[in-house]
Amino acid sequence: MIKENRLKPSQEMRWQKYQSEEAKNISFPKMSVYDLVKEENKNRKDNIALGFYGNEICYGELFDKVEETIEGLKGKIQAGEVVTISALTTPELIYLFYALGEIRAISNMVDPRTSLKGLADYINEAESTKLVTLNLFNDNIKDIFNASTISEIINISLRDSAKQLPFKLNLASLVTDAITKLKYNDGKHIKFEDYIQNDQQVKDESPLPEYQENIPLTIVHTGGTTGIPKGVLLSHDTFNVMAWQYKYSGLDLQPHHRFMNMMPPFIAYGLDMLHMPLVMGQRVDIVSTFNPKKFDELILKYKPNHFAGVPSHLGGLKNSKKLQNQDLSHIITPAVGGDGIMPELHEEGSKFLLERNAQQGISPGYALTEANSVFSVCINEHVKYGSAGFPLPGGTVGIFDENQNELDYNQHGEICVCTPSTMLGYYKQAEATNAILKTHKDGKVWIHTGDLGYIDEDGFLWVSDRIKNVIIRHDGFKVYPSMIENVILSHHAVAQCRVVGIRDLDYPQGQKPKAHIKLKDEYVNDEKKILDEIALICEETLSEYVVPHDFKIRNDYPLTPIGKIDTIALQKEEELTKEQGKVLVKK
């Protein structure tokens, strides 16, 4: 009997039945990110591009501001130079992002919550001499000149572009602006608007560099699949590919639509959700300081057609009293990424939206920084609760075993993706790059994601587990246990430490880190003192969102049959304790 030679999922690409002929034969623009935004909106200069605290900035003004910034940067920043940006989303950050790209400099995006040491490490790795940040953060980084290669800080104020800041934020910004003038009038701190002033008497008429493929644009930081922080180097092409994939995805993305951006600019997801809607010619309403507990108020305020968040944002909508009797027919694409969504949360959230006339339920996807964020997504009526959808146009996915053999439908293995939005590589880390970008037997370069999953018979991707025990918070940020463990193990009294994710009961979905610590025998009677010291070390060393708020001293650990600490058992312990607590309360 002759065995049937069936095509594997990545070869058959069953998901293409959901795509248009244009999507199946997609080709991508060959130009810089700014040129694509400008080309796509050359006839929309009077349309609103950005909304920022009462200020409406049209596309014509956006172009003028970017080009003013380009002229101001000439002679001050060189092609190939890395400029570190640690800020929230503001119009100035957007001007700078595109302007740096036009002069072929590279932006190095860093979370403002990063510790001083962490920020210095990112700066020194990139050899940055210029740091762009909000003046609100000046006091937190006052020692950065001594700790890093930085020689200039370019300050942005929230009041530079805002017209109607909330009272408390406006007051804080007013006070900070005044303090900056007095305390940081040292020649090293320069206002953004002053920095981009062209102080040359003769305008620099030299042409900008021509487009070439794979020109580096930005560095965003991730723990990747190992939990060790790495800079992911992304190009102009990766961002344009992502925008074009959305354009031909089948989603209803019209130029007159409103897109609410509440994701931060120091992650690929946040930058993509700025660039993509601007390429589409949409109005992007910038939410610089996002409070998940006020998400419903933002929906009522901005009435967005599209927005992108993380599962806990949308999952919590069903509990909103303010939205219970609202008409949400303006909502077209309520997208989620950053983490897989639980099937019940996906279904409940979708029903809540659809019952209030939203045009679509929750649209989840699968994202990874190494693919410049979103790779797959549920589109329109093509949805299965709990799945991560199917690849955007031009991308393909396969499930592979440890020998790079592709598995069949519904077989579990490592998720590998092949997409034109693939990163250039990890910044200055060739070995780590080669460990995740691998050329398979088909000659294609595949990203080995480190995640487990399967592809069903309809071509939908399902993410079943993380190979590494990454903790994903309620807001989608990833916490890598090894980062916390290394800090705690630096304390002289600690013998062992294991950090696990436990349910964060303050939110409908997400985890928070809990540290299980075993002390050396001679310190077992000093638990309280040592825990206080460990908590302080964590607060001083780790980024704010990484710091564990729950510590447990234990005498031993549950072990696997081969003698390793059983992480799953530690997590089950926590769930059992919570269940017992509920029973006691009921009694």
Whether 197 shows a pLDDT value over 70: the answer reads: yes
- Single residue among 151, 182, 211 that ends a domain in this structure: 211
Residue 477 lies in a domain: yes
CA distances from 366 to 145, 379, 552 (A): 39, 12, 34
What's the CATH number where 495 sits? 3.30.300.30
Q: Which of 270-274, 366-370, 481-485 has the lowest mean pLDDT?
A: 481-485
Does 418 share its domain with 495?
A: no
What's the CATH number where 395 sits? 2.30.38.10
Residue 32 lies in a domain: no
Residue 406 lies in a domain: yes
Number of domains in the chain: 3
pLDDT for res 576 = 73
Does 396 share its domain with 487?
A: no
Does 431 share its domain with 547?
A: no
Q: Which of 226-235, 397-406, 483-492, 575-584 has the lowest mean pLDDT?
A: 575-584
pLDDT band at 480 (very low <50, low <70, confident <90, very high): confident
Does 146 share its domain with 185?
A: yes
Does 485 share its domain with 462?
A: no
Mean pLDDT of the 198-203 span: 63
Mean pLDDT of the 227-242 span: 91
CA contacts within 13 A on the Cβ side of 281 = 15
For 178-204, the three-class secondary structure string (H helix, E strand, C coil) is HHHHHHCCCCCEEEHHHHCCCCCCCCC
Residue 280 lies in a domain: no
- Single residue among 165, 186, 211 that ends a domain in this structure: 211
Those residues with Cβ within 8 angstroms of residue 582's Cβ, 6 or more apart along the chain or in another chain: none
Strands (E) across 388-444 are located at 390-391, 396-400, 413-418, 425-426, 437-439
Containing domain of residue 526, as a range?
471-586
Residue-averaged pLDDT of the chain: 91
Residue 17 lies in a domain: no
How many Å apart are CA 427 and CA 125, to the nearest integer? 9
Does 432 share its domain with 503?
A: no
What's the CATH number where 176 sits? 3.40.50.980
DSSP code per residue over 445-486: EEEEEEEEEEE-TTS-EEEEEESS--EE-TTS-EE-HHHHHH
Does 58 share its domain with 101?
A: yes
Which tokens belong to 309?
Answer: 């968040």
pLDDT for res 466 = 63
The string of pLDDT tens digits covering residues 518-564 is: 999 899 999 999 999 999 999 999 999 999 989 999 998 987 544 46
Burial of 349 (0-12, 13-18, 19+ CB in 10 A): buried
pLDDT for res 312 = 67
The string of pLDDT tens digits covering residues 40-99 is: 999 999 999 999 999 999 999 999 999 999 999 999 999 999 999 999 999 999 999 999
Does 565 share its domain with 510?
A: yes
CA distances from 558 to 76, 187, 480, 567, 577 (A): 58, 57, 21, 8, 15
pLDDT for res 569 = 86
DSSP code per residue over 293-330: GGHHHHHHHH--SEEEE-HHHHHGGGG-TTTTT---TT
The string of pLDDT tens digits covering residues 294-349 is: 899 999 999 999 999 877 677 667 778 999 999 999 999 999 876 667 787 888 88
Mean pLDDT of the 7-11 span: 96
Whether 191 shows a pLDDT value over 50: the answer reads: yes
How many Å apart are CA 480 and CA 198, to the nearest integer? 44
Burial of 508 (0-12, 13-18, 19+ CB in 10 A): buried
Residue 385 lies in a domain: no
Q: What does R_g of the chain's alpha carbons equal in angstroms?
A: 24
Does 528 share its domain with 576?
A: yes
Residue 376 lies in a domain: no
- Single residue among 466, 485, 501 that ends a domain in this structure: 466
Residue 353 lies in a domain: no
pLDDT band at 423 (very low <50, low <70, confident <90, very high): very high
> pTM for this one?
0.84
Q: Are 379 and 391 in contact (CB under 8 A)?
A: no
Number of CB atoms found within 10 A of residue 579's CB: 10
Q: Are 119 and 144 in contact (CB under 8 A)?
A: yes
pLDDT for res 584 = 35
Does 534 share its domain with 405?
A: no
Does 480 share its domain with 542?
A: yes
The string of pLDDT tens digits covering residues 567-584 is: 878 888 887 766 544 433
Does 157 share its domain with 62?
A: yes
Q: Which residue has the higher pLDDT, 17 or 521?
A: 17
